Amino acid sequence: MASELPPHDPRKNQRAEPRPGTAAWWLAQENEPARRRRRRSLTLDAVLDTAMALLDTRGVAALTMRNIAEGLGCTQASLYRHVRNREELVTLLVDRALSVASSVPPGDTDWAEKAAWSARLFREHLLRHPGVASLLRGTERLGPNSLAGVQYSLELFIGAGFSPRLAYAAASSLATFIIGSVNFNLGLDSSDPEESRHRRLLYRSRDAAALPLIVQHADALAEVSSDDEFEVGLKALLTGFRALIQNPDITHD
Amino acid sequence: MASELPPHDPRKNQRAEPRPGTAAWWLAQENEPARRRRRRSLTLDAVLDTAMALLDTRGVAALTMRNIAEGLGCTQASLYRHVRNREELVTLLVDRALSVASSVPPGDTDWAEKAAWSARLFREHLLRHPGVASLLRGTERLGPNSLAGVQYSLELFIGAGFSPRLAYAAASSLATFIIGSVNFNLGLDSSDPEESRHRRLLYRSRDAAALPLIVQHADALAEVSSDDEFEVGLKALLTGFRALIQNPDITHD
DNA sequence: ACCTGAACACCGTTCAAGT
DNA sequence: ACCTGAACACCGTTCAAGT
């Protein structure tokens, strides 16, 4: 294996290494499986396993090459035989953590209900693995697990009457909203009554001349949880998608 | 000033420093303005100015205490007189960069058109400052500039017929979507034809048995830009909001 | 009261040297 | 062919010492 080198092999004429997560990078991955398929000791899977465990137990700050190596009982330098750099490791790790993206809801329901079910499942998965959510950037959407999720969404939305392009845009929007809402609430534990109290105090003490509505409705606003926010946005998106199907022209206004 | 110390002064009984960006942290900020109001040389504003310039010109990786200090012509240690740590600096920086969030659209238009106008403006601002977008986490939503944006959104949505709670949830959802869509497309330059070509190649070369729709519609999917995605999601959200106003009951299903 | 120099304990990454 | 030890050039943060 790796006997003849095709012109686009990344080890040859590598004027610019593609950034991990790019389409070019994902394409290049499959041309060099030999680098990862080692029969001895350390495997890429083992590296990603300990990395994932580290991320879940000790958080994103502890996800260092040194800690991963320690968890595996090897040197940091050894990791670089399986991964080009840390960014690449993160890209692979995040895609691997996205395998739930394509699980299928039970029962025989409306496309919108299926989408809502999957969206909630995905969000709950990210909430259980906040480290993954904070590492999620756009470029991971091209990995195998992300693509499985895209395939599933396309089935749903094309089945509902969307064109392929609109279906893809809708699926992306939904994914963006889910990931964004988890990230956007990472530091804010909505279930923590202390946090809610502080928010109420903050809203109340603002300048009523500049921020009248915030001061006026301080108590109500402080009670809105990230769950509430998510449900409202999800409902709005799906309702909007339904309207877009019935009248696709409203995309152009 | 700072003569009598109220029981919640963070310098006293500081068993746990609040994390920057938390409601508790924003509240505490106003109790110690003396630390920041120095009449000599270095000011917090100057620190944030050079930090912002650094972020815009050289990106998030170059936003180090050393580089900021160098830009100011002082030692790294001096920065810690104006900022407790780097996280705090980032929180202040991001809120400052969010001042556009509250600019008002021209003309006398529909609430939905106003919201769309502001959303596009906000997105374009973030696209011009990708460093800011990548630093945006949820906890910055409580800063003065963010709150000005919330105030403006509340005006819009309450004026349209939402309850304060629903208005807040809707505004948050919209902000989440905007920020998420910028972040989610940070590495992927949709205007780059190279990237689009690679995506097409990637989609085409997937396993047609596992990902039939992706392979089948590869060319169409590769052409969907992040602009398209954003517009579809924005339209869906606003359409959904309109439906929610007309029939608030559909929030509970 | 303010700022500095120098150190501390960390990073990611590289590479000659071992086996 | 594989892994290691040791180094390199960076981080954020602290603190005694200067002025």
Tens-digit pLDDT profile for residues B160-170:
999 999 999 99
Alpha-carbon dihedral of residues B32, B33, B36, B41, nearest 10 degrees? -140
CA angle A219, A221, A226 (to 5 degrees): 130
- Cβ of B251 within 8 Å of Cβ of A238? The answer is no
- Taking chain A, what is the end-to-end CA distance rounded to the nearest angstrom? 55
pLDDT at B248: 64
Work out how many CB contacts closer than 8 A connect A with B: 255
Closest Cα partner for B242 from B230, B231, B234, B232? B234
- Residues in B closer than 8 angstroms to A240, CB to CB, are 235-240, 243
Per-residue pLDDT at A37: 44
User: What is the pLDDT tens value at each position of chain A, 253 positions in all?
Assistant: 333 222 222 333 334 678 888 888 888 887 654 554 444 567 899 999 999 999 999 999 999 999 999 999 999 999 999 999 999 999 999 999 988 766 788 888 899 999 999 999 999 999 999 899 989 876 668 899 999 999 999 999 999 999 999 999 999 999 999 999 998 877 666 667 788 888 999 999 999 999 999 999 999 999 998 999 999 999 999 999 999 988 765 443 3
Beta-carbon contacts of residue B200 (< 8 Å; ≥ 6 apart): B218, B219, B222
Residue of A23, A176, A220 with shortest CB distance to B164 = A220
- Residue in chain A lying closest to B159 (CA): A213
Q: Which residues 21-60 on chain A approach chain B with CB closer than 8 angstroms?
A: 21-24, 26-27
Which of B195, B211, B237 has its CB closest to that of A23?
B195
Which of A25, A195, A199, A202 has the highest number of chain B CBs within 10 A, making it the mutation to test binding with B? A202
Cα dihedral sign, B191-B193-B195-B197: positive
Residue B60: CB atoms within 10 A of its CB come to 15
How much of chain A, in percent, has pLDDT values that exceed 90?
A: 62
The pLDDT tens digits for B78-95 are: 999 999 999 999 999 999
The reply to whether B223 touches chain A by the CB within 8 Å rule is yes
Nearest beta carbon to residue A231 from set B24, B233, B251: B251
**Nearest C-alpha in A relative to B217:** A164
Residues 6+ apart with CB under 8 A from B86: B65
- Asked if residues B83 and B65 have their Cβ atoms less than 8 Å apart, the reply is no
Is A22–B188 a contact, with Cβ atoms under 8 angstroms apart?
yes
Which residues fall inside 7 Å of strand D, measured at CB? A 38, 40-42, 74-78, 81; B 62-67, 76-77, 80, 85-87
Question: Which nucleotides in chain C have some atom under 7 angstroms from a protein Cβ?
Answer: 2-7, 10-16
**Contact (CB<8Å) A229/B176:** yes
CB contact under 8 A, B217 and A177: no
pLDDT at B87: 92
Residue A180: closest CA among B144, B141, B116, B88? B141
Q: How confident is the model at residue B100 (pLDDT cuts 50, 70, 90)?
A: confident
pTM equals 0.87
Above 70 in pLDDT, residue B13?
no
A191/A121 Cα distance (integer angstroms): 19
Buried b (16+ CB within 10 A) or exposed e, A173-198: bbbbbbbbbbbbbbbbebeeeebbeb
